[in-house]
Amino acid sequence: MNKDNLEQLIHNYMEKYDLLNDAEHDEIYKWKAVNHFQKYWNLDTDEFGEMFKQAMEKSFNLINNGIAQPTSGIVFLCKQDKKTEREVQEEFRKLLAPDEGNIKVRQDRIQMFVDAINEKLQKAAPNKWKYNQDRRSVIMYLNFIAPDDNFMFKSTEAKAFADCYEFGEDIGSGQTFRLDVYYRMCRELVDEIKKHKDLCALLEEKLKYEAEVDEDKTNPVTKVAGKYNILAYDLIYCAHAYNLYENISVRKRKKLSAVEQKRQEKENRVKDLIAQREEKNEQFEQLEKQLNEMKFPDIIGMKVKNIRYGEGNVTDQNGKYVTVEFTAGAKNFILPDAFEKGFLKSADEEISACFEEIGSLKKTKEKYEGNIRLLSTEISRLSKN
């Protein structure tokens, strides 16, 4: 590990602490989100879906984003019927069963949870791909539920910190990801954080202020569990998001010749590009899996409109091809483009939204494909020179 780099990073973090937690950036919301969740979390409640929804109200973009909404997927399943709600509740019980601190067992359970919930989502709503669970979302659930024993996680930010800290073990990615290695790094970081009394005092002061201005005096954020585990993640996240690595060199080395320096810069660039490609490949594989699980809705017999041909009826549907009978004759269209690009319009908003979702997903997949091709080309070019 590189203690000098960590010291500089903590210094940079403290220097920008007021900026990180001003009204615009409000990074302290992580602690408030976990504290709010802890107030409402109850694994044994009869209204599990409503409880989970209420508990997650302040999580904002910590778990969900514009593309993926896994917490909404949990709530959606629980609204189907009581049987499904109980099944979801049982999956959480399995996830949270005692593991004696064995993080490898915990990681296996995370994957089993992902598979089980996504299978239920596929049956209940095959086109609601935004609701799918993934490894990161479940790691975040664990941190919200048991913050003393878990850590929040984002892949790119974690790798950047590991490089700066020169941790020595590979966190991995995709199928090679190791939660135990990531947790070990975070625990080391927490130990170092606790040695910095000035940093801990900054956090305590901010939490005290947030508790004072909070109208709810029954659940002060000063008592939030796992406050230093959250601080470890906040440091990892903010270091990447706010460029706190700016004046830190990953490793101090002897002065290199111009030729050696150029070669090393190229090697570092290749490593960075490979890491980016691995991340894009993982995202691409997830999207491809979602697309493979999705099916076009049956629209035979549906009335549609075309700006040129007017009203017509769908008479045939074969895979992505549909035939529409207009007064002017039969015309063929390709799905989902016909609806997504406005060539066909339907009064059924749910059907239209479904095709638009599939079209949006395909565009995102194509974007990832393009990114991967460009990254591969650049890696190949740099490796040959």
Tens-place pLDDT, residues 197-219: 999 999 999 999 999 999 999 99
287 C-beta neighbours (distance < 10 Å), count:
20
CA dihedral 365, 366, 369, 371 (to 10 degrees): -100
Q: Please give the structure tokens belonging to residue 20.
A: 């990180």
Identify the H or E element spanning 88. Answer: helix 82-96
Query: Rounded to the nearest 5°, which phi and psi values hold at 303?
Result: -85, 135
Identify the H or E element spanning 378. helix 349-384
pLDDT digits (tens, 9 = 90+) for 19-46: 999 999 999 999 999 999 999 999 999 9
Q: What is the dihedral of CA 238, 241, 244, 247, to 10 degrees?
A: 160
Task: Single out the residue of 7, 380, 381, 385 nearest to residue 193, CA to CA.
Answer: 7
Q: Check if the beta carbon of residue 276 is closer than 8 Å to that of residue 375.
A: yes
Please state, in angstroms and rounded to a whole number, the distance separating the CA atoms of residues 362 and 216.
45
Is 70 exceeded by the pLDDT of residue 252?
no
Give the residue with greater pLDDT, 84 vs 66.
Answer: 84
Q: Residue 385 pLDDT > 90, yes or no? A: no
Q: Which helix (H) or strand (E) holds 137?
A: helix 135-145
Domain ranges of the chain: 3-252
313-363 pLDDT per residue, tens: 999 999 999 999 999 999 999 999 999 899 999 999 899 889 988 988 889
